[in-house]
Chains A and B, each alone.
Chain A
């Protein structure tokens, strides 16, 4: 069953991007830097003007208020931002209780000051911050870019588990072939102005 659907989407240099992401499926996108991966994710989140049709479970992106679309199709940027002094301010009241152990935080992390978080810690909390919104689709822009090797694999496993369990349709921008091999159900690469499927040879 297809959940997130892109039909002839064009943004920036990219054109005619068509993709179907089923619920609980991970599709990896890769390409040279500056090729428009992030812009494509931003277009799916409707943060960037774009052509074509994007829909979620049959509902057109343009048929609902933009903030409603973005709460169903949540995006985690590669460089997450924090605007309150304390970590807890960024989470709804109950986010604390279910904080997964795989992220490796003590329970009192919600009282921590954001300024003491490392970039890797911010990245992991940003993923959790998006997941507690219970989105139906997830747009991840290099979600493990700031993590070291071991943490990367732990976070990957946890993310995949959440994605499968919650049946989230996921677009995952990655550049490391090993990671793509580990997480992707399908892999597409940007060549010039096109998004082309990469056959499961790697």
Chain B
């Protein structure tokens, strides 16, 4: 089965539909015209560029180019995690904790999936490594940022409770117990919900894409199952690390709550 290529002018037709929506929004004064057009333009430009990058990468498939792209993706995800926290740790900590947690969990799980489960030759073959890492990072990013945001926000609002627990001789881990559990739950909920709804409510994007590209559904399904499982694992361990490092940083060596280390942005 050969994939039907799309001509650029046919994409223009889809773009015309977006313009029609924007025009309607403008006439009806919905106030979304501007952001709609900007976002649509960004999609076209960003995806066209990444298409070029991937074409070049697939042609060379040198390890260091794959590694460089992975690094750029990681740093962008780290910046995004930081931007999504209403209150965050001062200095480099917000970026550092989020990025390290994502690095350790996403990269470990991706490399494991590549070498042990999928087994392309070489293991870093960009056709497999980059899309897999992209999905891992995208989801881990959501999980880590939700968990950290919840952690910092709860600690800020429950300052009095935490300190009262400390006053009664609890360790900082005990005083933070409930908040840590909540933060973990926020971080993990999206992937748990996605797994529960997969195939019944939603057909996941990756599987759909693979079927459109001509794969037999039985193969596409297996890849989708693999991806959802490792995404959950990556997100879970990522959130776990981020919450425990972040929690640790909110207290000092005398187990005092240090809210001065949080800044609002």
Contacts and interface: CB of A to CB of B under 8 A. Distances in A.
A108 B170 CA distance: 26
B160 interface: yes
B255 A45 contact: no
B217 to A, nearest CB: 49
A38 to B, nearest CB: 11
Nearest to A129: B168
Contact of A47 (B158, B161, B163, B178): B163
Given A67-B171, A70-B169, A133-B168, A83 B256 contact: no
Given A71-B169, A74-B169, A133-B169, A66 B164 contact: no
B111 interface: no
Nearest to A68: B169
B167 interface: yes
B181 interface: no
Given A46-B254, A46-B256, A77 B163 contact: yes
A13 interface: no
Interface in B166-188: 166-172, 178
A12 interface: no
A66 B255 CA distance: 6
Given A62-B254, A74-B168, A81-B161, 15 more contacts: A45-B167, A47-B166, A66-B254, A67-B171, A67-B172, A67-B255, A70-B167, A70-B168, A72-B169, A79-B160, A80-B164, A81-B160, A83-B158, A83-B165, A133-B168
Interface of A: 45-49, 62, 65-68, 70-72, 74-77, 79-83, 129-130, 133
